[in-house]
Amino acid sequence: MGARAIRDHRAAMAERRSLLDGAALLLPLARITHGADQFPILSGILGDGRKIRIELVADTMVCRRLPQLWLKVTLLEAAACHRPKLGALARPTGAEFYSLVHEMPHWFTPPPTEAALLMRGDDSASPEHVERARAMFGSLFSDPTLKEAAITPRGVRLVRQFAQGERGAHLLLRQARFAVTAIAPDLIRRTIVEAEALSGCLADDTPISPAPAAV
């Protein structure tokens, strides 16, 4: 059993590397690198010249649930904008190590959705900013797979559930194995469209400087 587990684990590591190969065809100048866990990281450019980064994040810190595989899409603005940080997080537990929302200091009333939402922002968020962001979050989080949506001066980010870990591997071997071999380009395309809409939520805010390389 031990030898089989090792073989299966190695096969799973190899499969991870190609999960974003199909999505790379959607982006000009696409480049794929790999993290220490062998999950791919896809970087590319949209038609308007903005940079986009697509990552897969394995989360084994979820409470009383199977491991989760999150799809994280970050859209970087061409230049940092005069806009606040605002974000919403669905079903918060406090263990979301990938979250931008947990870093924001002020709490706001979230829009009504089926899932519990945590909405936060920073000191520069005006009532108008909050209302416009709240309307956008209400629309985005009608999708139960969405975990986080965040707006910052430098860009926007969406995190959504892509897969759950296999129960047997998690319970018996404490491994985070996901029964997926590829991510459909349509899902990537849809998430990019949502990121562009989130970016346009506060579109009248003017650029102030070249944007740094991270949100």
pLDDT in tens, 73-127: 999 999 989 899 999 999 999 989 999 999 999 999 999 999 999 999 999 999 9
- The first and second tokens of residue 79, run together, are 């230049």
Q: Name the region of 174 (left: φ>0; alpha: ψ -120 to 50; beta: rest).
A: left
- For the chain, which ranges sit under pLDDT 50? 168-171, 173
Q: Please indicate, yes or no, whether the overall pTM of this predicted structure exceeds 0.75.
A: yes
How far apart, in whole angstroms, are the C-alpha atoms of residue 199 and residue 83? 11
What stretch of H or E contains 164? strand 155-164
What stretch of H or E contains 169? helix 167-173
pLDDT of residue 64: 56
